[in-house]
Amino acid sequence: MTTRGRVSVLVGFLAVVVAGQLGGQTIHDVELRGDLAKGDYGFSPAEISARRGDVLRFRVLSGAPHSIAFDSTGMPRAAKAALNRAMPGRVSQLRGPLLVKEGETYRIVIPRLPSGSYRFYCLTHQVYEAAGTLVIP
């Protein structure tokens, strides 16, 4: 094979790799908002449909501190284990770290999970029913 041939094979290979990463992974931005005066705390959007390998990118808009926790009620054991592994800096089972600053982000790469709905909530604002749902189709 000529040098030019090898280069074009390499370029083709890299193009496939890059396209695979960009095409296969969707980033879902979810804002955490809070307004003490209005008693309004929540996630926007509150429902996210996503697939394995996608990224949930939570971002503190206002009303910190917030933290993301998944509701383990009825969750299969394997799903719990997978989610625990996928949550960086956990403080306990299915509970992420405290996000204290505006603009702070928390990323979860969605692991292999059975199809279904996974409820998550803000640990610090449960009383305001700040919650959302991750739907795995």
Task: Find the part of the chain contacting Cu ion (CB under 5 A) among 22-30, 52-60, 89-97, 122-130.
Answer: 122-130
User: Nearest to residue 86, comparing CAs of 56, 115, 60, 61?
Assistant: 56
Report, in Å, the least distance between residue 52 CB and Cu ion.
27
Applying CB under 5 A, what is the total number of residues that bind Cu ion?
A: 4
Q: Which of 125, 132, 134, 136 binds Cu ion (CB under 5 A)?
A: 125
The b-or-e profile of 41-78 (16+ CB within 10 A means b, else e) is bbbeeeebebeeebebebbbbebbbbbbbbebeebeee
Report, in Å, the least distance between residue 62 CB and Cu ion.
10
Report, in Å, the least distance between residue 33 CB and Cu ion.
8
Cβ proximity to Cu ion: between 30 and 124 the closer is: 124
Cβ-contact 83, 136 below 8 angstroms: no
Q: Which of 48, 83, 122, 134 binds Cu ion (CB under 5 A)?
A: 122
Cβ proximity to Cu ion: between 94 and 113 the closer is: 94
Tokens of 47: 């429902």
CB atoms within 10 A of CB 102: 12
**What single-letter amino acid sits at 123?**
L
Cβ proximity to Cu ion: between 21 and 105 the closer is: 105
Contacts with Cu ion in 58-97 (CB under 5 A)? Answer: 66
User: Nearest to residue 105, comparing CAs of 56, 48, 57?
Assistant: 57
Applying CB under 5 A, which residues contact Cu ion?
66, 122, 124-125
